[in-house]
Structure 1
Amino acid sequence: MTALFFPHQALADTLLACLPDAFDGAHDLAHLERVWRNVQCIAAEEGGDRALLLAATVLHDGVHVAKNDPRRAQASQLAADQAREILSTTGWESPRIEAVAHAIEAHSFSAGITPQTLEARILQDADRLDSLGALGVARCFYTAGQMGGALYDPFDPQADGRALDDQRFTLDHFQTKLLTLKEGFQTATGRRLAAQRHARLLAFRDALLEEIGETPAR
């Protein structure tokens, strides 16, 4: 079997076994593996404690809170508290547990917490990369489908004469969040990768608008 979290597969297996089963196709095992791949790519140039980063990666979405749940902004705090409990049973020392918890707390867009450590900056960048590019498009529409959202407003696709409402219209989410993400990356490597994926996201948005008879606004 492929080691998804090489070279820390044993640690990953231990931590994954402690997580509850809660399926969400946008925050599943494949998402964790992609974030870990992004983490490794960034850390290869920026540095960072790899074992600590692995723990933060595997546990960062340990508590699932739906996007339209009023507790959404608390999701990363809940996951951090869960990580503290899990890591305390595996022999980790308190300072390292708190470093993992901080990285988890700070990774969330909704929480609005500024990362204070290199590992927290790396995890935030690695997670946000998965909201950009082709994967960002796929996850965005998957989540909107789960929530019952429409693809776009047929009367005003670009919200020229109405307020943006990404709870109702998926295309609005590109403007309210996805196309703003590249400005907030924390590391030089993350910013470079984000620029590439932002361009793919923008190209998809523009192609969709053209196919529904709209001229993309810049």
Structure 2
Amino acid sequence: MSSSLFAPHQALAESLLAHLPDDTDGAHDLAHLVRVWRNVQRIAAVEGGDRELLLAATLLHDGVHVPKNDPRRAQASRLAAEQGGRILTALGWQTARIDAVRHVIEAHSFSAGIEPQTLEARVLQDADRLDALGALGVARCFYTAGQMGSALYDPFDPQATNRALDDQRFTLDHFETKLLTLKEGFQTATGQQLATQRHARLLAFREALLEEIGEASIR
């Protein structure tokens, strides 16, 4: 069963996985939740944090699917937090712990711009952002761009030297507008260390792509 992937809290996982949205995508599916949970465990093993609370937030943090190009995108984490609160209330959780989970969910989102106020919020934010870096970050970026119908890059100006960056049209532009900026925003020392490693993989991919299309990097 998929709940076994979330040891040692399989019973809680089984209850929460039943509420996963049906309209999710390949960048925010069960595999994403498993990866984030593994990141959470790796970070929390050093930094600490309430594991049960962290698992609940992990499984509920993408509970409301809002596409990247939807104008409501910045509200996605708030909507997920509200839904998560209702689910945990039905499971009999205490109000204080529900509020704690809600904050963790709200603060995880890059687009929401909410400062994490608790250790658990810092851990989940880092764990989720790690999935946007490294080889997985590349895979998710191009997957999402394909869904949106974006081109791989501008054939006339791949590095946007003489135009404004436009990551709605060109996938490679998203490296500059977001992916290569994520390394600076990590909240924990462990998350920062892991982010530095994955950031280097993003750079290596970008350099390889530019070389293969006959471009010399201007970075």
TM-score tier by shorter-chain length is over 0.9
Distance of 1:19 and 1:212 partners within structure 2: 40
Aligned to 1:216: 217
Distance of 1:131 and 1:28 partners within structure 2: 14
Mapping for residues 66-145 of structure 1, pairs under 5 Å: 66-145=67-146
SS of residue matched to 2:8: coil
Distance of 2:111 and 2:58 partners within structure 1: 17
SS of residue matched to 1:204: helix
Among the aligned pairs, what percent are the same residue? 81
- What is the TM-score when the length of structure 1 is the normalising length? 0.99
1:196 Cα deviation after fit: 0.3
Task: Give the 4+ runs in structure 1 shifted more than 3 A.
Answer: none
1:18 Cα deviation after fit: 2.2
Distance of 1:19 and 1:133 partners within structure 2: 26
Distance of 2:210 and 2:127 partners within structure 1: 29
Aligned to 1:27: 28
Distance of 1:194 and 1:54 partners within structure 2: 21
- 1:185-204 Cα offsets, whole Å, 9 max, x none, are 00000000000000001100
Distance of 1:212 and 1:105 partners within structure 2: 40
Root-mean-square deviation over aligned CA pairs: 0.8
Distance of 1:146 and 1:9 partners within structure 2: 33
Distance of 1:25 and 1:117 partners within structure 2: 29
The question of whether the paired residues in 1 share the 8 Å contact of 2:54 and 2:124 is answered with: yes
Aligned to 2:10: 9
Aligned to 2:47: 46
Distance of 1:180 and 1:119 partners within structure 2: 23
2:121 partner amino acid: A
Aligned to 2:183: 182
SS of residue matched to 1:4: helix
Aligned to 1:205: 206
- 1:39-82 Cα offsets, whole Å, 9 max, x none, are 00000000000000000000000000000000000000000000
1:10 Cα deviation after fit: 1.3
1:215 Cα deviation after fit: 0.6
Distance of 1:193 and 1:9 partners within structure 2: 27
Aligned to 1:196: 197
1:206 partner amino acid: E
- What is the TM-score when the length of structure 2 is the normalising length? 0.98
Distance of 2:181 and 2:171 partners within structure 1: 15
Return 17-26 or 51-60, whichever deviates more: 17-26
SS of residue matched to 1:115: coil
Query: Unaligned 5+ residue runs, structure 1?
Result: none
Distance of 2:186 and 2:13 partners within structure 1: 26
The question of whether the paired residues in 1 share the 8 Å contact of 2:104 and 2:116 is answered with: yes
